Amino acid sequence: MANSIWKKYPQLGEQLDLTTEYIHQAVNINNLEITGMIRDLTSGGKMLRPAFFLLFSDFGKKKLPTKDLIPLAASLEVLHVATLIHDDVIDDSPMRRSQPTIHTKYGRRNAIYAGDYLFTLYFELISRNLHSNVDILRNALSMKKILVGELDQMLINFNVKATTEMYLTEISGKTAELFSLSAAMGAIVSDGDQNLIDRCKGIGHDIGMAFQIIDDVLDFSNSGQIGKPAHEDLKNGVYSLPYILGLEAGNEQLIEVLSKDKLTSEDDKKATNIVVDNGYLNQAKEIAHSYTNRAVSEIEKLPKSHNQKVLKALVKNLIDRIK
């Protein structure tokens, strides 16, 4: 069953259930253990990316029937889960969605190949639709930017001279790209003109940027609730926006703490306090707000419809999490 956040939108919830089913049928390997884990990973999540794709498929000239939308909706979730599996190997995260991660249960080897398998499945699902639209494939390839974003992050990691601009560029690839792609694909399959496609792409991008920054901010306040240890990233030299704002402001205390070779829990706490007390956390919230504001004002310009209202409500829910 679709995640409870979709309760208010039963039609969308139903489409997302079909998407999950479609993925489960598409995942087809002899190895039943790994099949089971992939199916679990593609069941419990919020499925935001397919949801945005489905919502944005409402604004062009053509209304595709659900059955034609599902393979593409599925492909976006498959791509997302591929990146999650690899991210979990990289961060050595023990849990994901309240379940042990694949590498924890069946080793790094199977987790890496399972991710690779899903990358390929992504392209397969995309290409099932190819007869109708080669533009979709061209856009699908923009997922490359996600990986370029991840590789460019090396330039920020453990870099106390990282700037907000560097950070925004990096999350633009790492997170916003897939939201942007989901929205753009919706516009493309509904036969939207270039104007509409660009607008949807922009909205998706802004939602993705806000989403990542909000995630960074939530990491400070309720890390216990979202199932990963606090500030794991910090110890790995991955600085989230609140820290970067402090570093960029030239906060000497913060620079001193983060310049240490190995961070203790004490250092972690100290850095957190500096970031909160000096208002860097609030600054990050404001930046998130500026993205959701722009997204909402662009959503206003979309054709008036039920889906337009749903999109607005979703963006508001998103930003309300850090009120």
User: Pick from 80, 86, 201, 285: which binds a second copy (CB under 8 A)?
Assistant: 86
Report the distance separating Cα 118 and Cα 134, nearest Å. Answer: 21
**Range in contact with a second copy (rule: CB under 8 A) among 80-88, 187-195, 201-209, 296-304:** 80-88
Shortest distance, CB of residue 306 to a second copy, whole angstroms? 35
Going by their DSSP bridges, the two strands 95-96 and 99-100 should be labelled as antiparallel
DSSP state of 175: I
**Range in contact with a second copy (rule: CB under 8 A) among 11-19, 50-58, 102-110, 314-322:** 102-110
Q: Would you count residue 71 as binding a second copy (CB under 8 A)?
A: no
Report the distance separating Cα 203 and Cα 53, nearest Å. Answer: 12
List the helix and strand counts (H, then E) for the chain: 16, 2
Q: Would you count residue 168 as binding a second copy (CB under 8 A)?
A: no
Q: Would you count residue 30 as binding a second copy (CB under 8 A)?
A: yes
Shortest distance, CB of residue 229 to a second copy, whole angstroms? 18
Q: Hey, is 100 helix, strand or coil? A: strand
Report the distance separating Cα 315 and Cα 295, nearest Å. Answer: 8
Which residues contact residue 181 at a Cβ distance below 8 angstroms, ignoring those fewer than 6 apart? 76, 139, 140, 142, 143, 204
Q: Would you count residue 134 as binding a second copy (CB under 8 A)?
A: yes
User: Pick from 5, 21, 66, 123: which binds a second copy (CB under 8 A)?
Assistant: 123
Q: Would you count residue 116 as binding a second copy (CB under 8 A)?
A: yes
Report the distance separating Cα 6 and Cα 16, nearest Å. Answer: 9
Shortest distance, CB of residue 141 to a second copy, whole angstroms? 5
Q: Would you count residue 228 as binding a second copy (CB under 8 A)?
A: no
Is 321 exposed, middle or buried (CB count within 10 Å of its CB: 0-12, 13-18, 19+)? Answer: middle
Q: Would you count residue 114 as binding a second copy (CB under 8 A)?
A: yes
Q: Which residues lie across from 151 on neighbouring strands?
A: none
Report the interface residues with a second copy, using CB under 8 A: 29-31, 33-34, 82-83, 86, 89-90, 106, 108-110, 112-117, 119-121, 123-124, 127, 130, 134, 137-138, 140-141, 143-144, 147-148, 150-152, 154-155
